[in-house]
């Protein structure tokens, strides 16, 4: 068994947002109009919007995983449309009788 695993190819649904907050310390830059900024993934789960806070080092992977999900979604949608067309053609042919088949 290899001791190292290749990085898992994540799929992520949602959108990247930036959380801004004040920590409450009076001398912090956030009290002077520069809030702390944290990247986060906003996503829906069972109809509710959820937030997963991220670290800066997660950003590249998250962006790639979001793009991977969008590509996969597009791909499965294309396949589904092709499936509908194939089934529709088959039904039309079979309605027309065996004589029209190849």
- Please say which residue, 34 or 85, places its beta carbon nearer to Zn ion: 34
15 contacts 41 by C-beta, under 8 angstroms: yes
Structure tokens at 98: 């065996």
Give the shortest CB-22-to-Zn ion separation in angstroms: 6
Contact 63, 56 (CB under 8 A): no
Q: Is 19 or 30 the residue whose CB approaches Zn ion more closely?
A: 30
User: At its nearest, how many Å lie between Zn ion and the CB of residue 86?
Assistant: 59
Binding stretches for Zn ion (CB under 5 A)? 23, 28, 30
């Amino acid at each position: 068994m290899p001791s190292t695993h290749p990085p898992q190819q994540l799929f992520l649904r949602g959108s990247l947002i930036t959380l801004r907050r004040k920590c409450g310390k009076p001398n912090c830059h956030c009290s002077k109009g520069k809030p702390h900024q944290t990247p986060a993934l906003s996503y829906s789960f069972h109809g509710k919007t959820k937030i997963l806070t991220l670290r800066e080092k997660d950003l590249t992977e998250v962006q790639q995983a979001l793009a991977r999900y969008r590509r996969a979604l597009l791909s499965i949608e294309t396949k589904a449309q092709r499936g509908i067309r194939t089934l529709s053609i088959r039904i039309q042919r079979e309605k027309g009788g065996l004589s029209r088949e190849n």
